[in-house]
Structure 1
Amino acid sequence: MTLWTVPDHFRDELPPAAERLESLRRQWLDRLRVHGYQLVAPPLIEYLDALTVGSGRDLAERTFQVVDPLTGKPVAVRPDMTPQIARIDAHLLNRSGVTRLCYAGPVAHARPANLLALREPWQLGAELYGHAGVEADCEVACLLLRLLAEAGLRHVRLECAHMAIFRALTRGWSEADAETLFTLLRAKDRADLQRFLAGQELPAEVRAALLWLPHAYGGEEVLAEARRRLPDWPEIAAARTQLTALAKALAAEGAAVGFDLADLRGYYYHTGVMFAAFAPGSAAAVALGGRYDGMGAAFGRARPATGFSIDLRAVVTLLPLSPLPGAILAPALGADAPAKQRTALVERVAALRAAGEVVVDELPGHPRESWFEAGCTRQLVWERGAWHVVPFAE
């Protein structure tokens, strides 16, 4: 190890990627603001229990844990910001009606999500509290698509699922058996799934439904097939109806929509509609979302909740990076420079910066080529009684 290396699955962001990340963060937060989503900024570190209690147990294995030297209590670096936003809604804001919140910031994972994933995603998201209807799910999913399109990501595909189908089919199961089944379905491990179900005493329709779920992926035909393959129970019928409504809303946005009823995640987290956004060139989802009613119960008040989060760094890797705009070098004037030149230079530099130009103040004693290396492509020169911007001579 050398002092200039960073831990595995962490990375420095350099120009112009860092500039693109910050620009995209501002652009998206501004877009969320005009849709009524209010910005909140939770702390990077919280007490461990606040991040892993209840629904947060899904995050426990990804959580960096340390002991707070001030209190001796276990604290953690947030692996996800959604539990923090749920705490803010439930305990700090305590509003009775619909609340729309947004956020942006880094999170840290003790283990990478996959072999290529970074352990420090930059997470930006939006959450909607207080409305249990599918209209809220449609709003956040469509808003996600608009953000990705505005950033330049085309041909995004949303894969949708519904946790209520799994919950209905495993009603009455022990938690251990339900978690085992959950893992097998996520992995689409059909052989082990068949062996596991062979050891369970189940109604024939439930067994058949669970064996079909790993095959339940594709287009709208999946929902039509689900009507035949899944038990005709009220909660499953409601899930189909919600997925149909979501698909129609997304189609109206011009999105490609798919279904994968075994693409489950967040065993302790999600309660209803779930969706994942995939973009060409990315093996993993660039954004995840869905309903997580009740997460606020751990903080004193359960509320209907739905939302999404985007990994900014994953998105930026898929976008073409434009070079940074060339800066203008403002010369360092000697002590004998006329007062008129000095005053005019200050005014000209202020006007250029107000117009959005990058102006770099020259510091004496450095070779001219070093300013070109610093990004200067133009310079200010005094000609005909005024300061003019001309190409920079390396």
Structure 2
Amino acid sequence: MKYWQLPQAVEEVLPEQASALEALRRELLDLYKHWGYELVFPPLIEYSESLLTGLGADLDLLTFKLTDQLTGRTLGIRADITPQVARIDAHSYLKRGVSRLCYAGTTLHTRPKSLMASRCPIQVGAELYGDSSEQADIEIIRLLIETLRTSGVGALTLDIGHVGVYQAVFAAADIDQDDTDIFDALQRKSAPDLAVALQDKPAQTREWLTALMNMHGDIDTLDRARQTFGSSVPAVSQAIDQIETVIKALSAVAHDIDWYVDLAELRGLNYHTGLVFAAYAKGAGQALANGGRYDSVGQIYGRARAATGFAVDLKTLLAQGRYKANSQGAISVPAIMDTKLESLINDLRASGQIVIRALLNEHDERCDREIVLIDDVWTVRPIGKTNV
């Protein structure tokens, strides 16, 4: 048995990457703090009912479960932090009006979400509660854009949709939204499978849903959707208006963003209630961030609240962006005890310098400076420089 082997899609984080991950985590949490978002630390493990109730089968399948030795109840290891933050807002924090919360922590998945994904992503995100307006959605997406910019992500495409379009079309066509065959075909955008699933439906229904499957592309997609559904399915126009408002506002402050509209985006349908979005970078095979509106999720915890937010995986951001942690070097110090030397070391460390003792009389490879005794004074100098 090879004891050093790790489970598939579970990885170690070695010093260089760990340093960059931690630096990026701190920088992002400081960014959120400066936007007014308060930090919370939800627990790694909870009763599975609390983690999963009302959130759909997808999250249930991703969640590791085990038996609590104290109570015999089923526990779940969190696969997503967002529902925990919704519980905090609804049950524990109970702030009146708008609340802004952010977080960072490891999650665990029973299986990777995609071929390249980790089963133990480090999830970072921000959530805004108590405001159902487009202004709240705009703020969250702006913060997402700043998150990706801070992470060094270059060319950026925002994929935006609205689950209200799907819900309105299904309601107008008198189709159960839980029809798995139609849902699956739409989600995969498979025309042959959708045709089979709709073969016994009225002609108008087949026309609407086939059109919905193809409602993706540039911003002109919104005009096509309005022409197709506007008069017969008024609720679609309301959703389109919201998307247009958000795109117009964000385009005024983020000129270099490419927009992709997908009105048949069904990701997280059982969870989201309105605007949904995802961020992609050139060359990346998966979304760097996902988010959207999820009003009333907190109802099960005792307080229904308007809610919108986003989440990113710190590991994915680091791999796809160009973020570099500041490398300050280090100072090598002789492995001896001297009162004046110890005082200097303490002062240097207090000022933010890295000071490493030269055990075995060898400089650590990170050191670019050293402390030496010159004329009875402990002095910092570049390594290799002589007293002459």
Q: Is the 8 A contact 1:276 1:285 kept in 2?
A: yes
| 2:212 match | 213
Q: Distance in 1 between matches of 2:58 and 2:300?
A: 14
| Structural mapping, 1:134-173, within 5 Å | 134-171=134-171, 172-173=174-175
| 2:368 match | 377
Q: Which amino acid aligns with 2:364?
A: F
In structure 2, which of residues 276, 279, 283 is the aligned counterpart of residue 277 of structure 1? 279
In structure 2, which of residues 312, 316, 320 is the aligned counterpart of residue 318 of structure 1? 320
| Structural mapping, 1:169-188, within 5 Å | 169-171=169-171, 172-177=174-179, 179-188=180-189
How far off is 1:216 after superposition? 1.8
Q: Secondary structure at the match of 1:54?
A: coil
Q: Secondary structure at the match of 1:381?
A: strand
| 2:8 match | 8
| 1:329 match | 332
Q: Is the 8 A contact 2:288 2:313 kept in 1?
A: yes
How far off is 1:209 after superposition? 2.3
| 2:35 match | 35
| 2:292 match | 290
Q: Which moved more, 1:38-47 or 1:297-306?
A: 297-306
Q: Which moved more, 1:2-11 or 1:54-63?
A: 54-63
How far off is 1:203 after superposition? 6.3
**Against the structure 1 CA distance between its residues 97 and 9, is the aligned structure 2 distance closer, same or farther, given a 3 Å change threshold?**
same
Q: Distance in 2 between matches of 1:180 and 1:303?
A: 32
Q: Which amino acid aligns with 1:344?
A: K
Tell me whether 1:343 sits opposite 2:339 in the alignment. yes
How far off is 1:347 after superposition? 2.4
* CA-atom RMSD in angstroms: 1.9
How far off is 1:181 after superposition? 2.2
| Structural mapping, 1:1-394, within 5 Å | 1-171=1-171, 172-177=174-179, 179-200=180-201, 202=202, 204=204, 206-232=205-231, 233-252=233-252, 253-254=254-255, 255-320=257-322, 321=324, 324-333=327-336, 342-363=338-359, 366-368=360-362, 371-373=363-365, 375-392=366-383
Q: Distance in 1 between matches of 2:361 and 2:343?
A: 26
How far off is 1:56 after superposition? 4.7
How far off is 1:280 after superposition? 2.0
How far off is 1:270 after superposition? 0.6
Q: Distance in 2 between matches of 1:319 and 1:17?
A: 13
Q: TM-score, normalised by structure 1?
A: 0.91
How far off is 1:323 after superposition? 8.2
Q: Distance in 1 between matches of 2:267 and 2:48?
A: 21
Q: Distance in 2 between matches of 1:223 and 1:110?
A: 37
Q: Which amino acid aligns with 1:227?
A: R
Q: Distance in 1 between matches of 2:239 and 2:321?
A: 35
How far off is 1:115 after superposition? 1.5
Q: Is the 8 A contact 2:103 2:126 kept in 1?
A: yes
How far off is 1:384 after superposition? 2.3
Q: Which amino acid aligns with 2:342?
A: V
**Against the structure 1 CA distance between its residues 139 and 322, is the aligned structure 2 distance closer, same or farther, given a 3 Å change threshold?**
closer
Deviations 1:81-109 (A, max 9, x none): 11101111111122331111111101111
**Against the structure 1 CA distance between its residues 367 and 281, is the aligned structure 2 distance closer, same or farther, given a 3 Å change threshold?**
farther
Q: Is the 8 A contact 1:16 1:323 kept in 2?
A: no
Q: Which amino acid aligns with 1:228?
A: Q
Q: Which amino acid aligns with 2:269?
A: Y
Q: Is the 8 A contact 1:16 1:324 kept in 2?
A: no
Q: Is the 8 A contact 1:79 1:107 kept in 2?
A: yes
Q: Distance in 1 between matches of 2:375 and 2:357?
A: 22
Q: Distance in 2 between matches of 1:199 and 1:377?
A: 75
Q: Which moved more, 1:137-146 or 1:54-63?
A: 54-63
Q: Is the 8 A contact 2:158 2:277 kept in 1?
A: yes
| 1:339 match | none
Aligned pairs, number: 379
**Against the structure 1 CA distance between its residues 354 and 131, is the aligned structure 2 distance closer, same or farther, given a 3 Å change threshold?**
same
Q: Is the 8 A contact 1:134 1:246 kept in 2?
A: yes
Q: Secondary structure at the match of 1:50?
A: helix
How far off is 1:388 after superposition? 2.1
- Percent identity between matched residues is 40
Deviations 1:180-208 (A, max 9, x none): 322211211111011111123x461x432
Moved over 6 A (4+): none
Q: Distance in 1 between matches of 2:144 and 2:46?
A: 27
Q: Secondary structure at the match of 2:320?
A: coil
Q: Is the 8 A contact 1:16 1:322 kept in 2?
A: no
Q: Is the 8 A contact 1:58 1:268 kept in 2?
A: no
Q: Secondary structure at the match of 1:317?
A: helix
Q: TM-score, normalised by structure 2?
A: 0.93
Q: Which amino acid aligns with 2:336?
A: L
Which segments of 5 or more consecutive residues in structure 2 lack a partner in the other structure?
Answer: none
How far off is 1:149 after superposition? 0.8
Q: Is the 8 A contact 1:87 1:299 kept in 2?
A: yes
Q: Distance in 1 between matches of 2:185 and 2:377?
A: 74
Q: Distance in 2 between matches of 1:175 and 1:169?
A: 10
How far off is 1:304 after superposition? 0.8
How far off is 1:324 after superposition? 4.3
Which segments of 5 or more consecutive residues in structure 1 lack a partner in the other structure?
Answer: 335-341
Q: Secondary structure at the match of 2:364?
A: helix
Q: Secondary structure at the match of 2:131?
A: coil
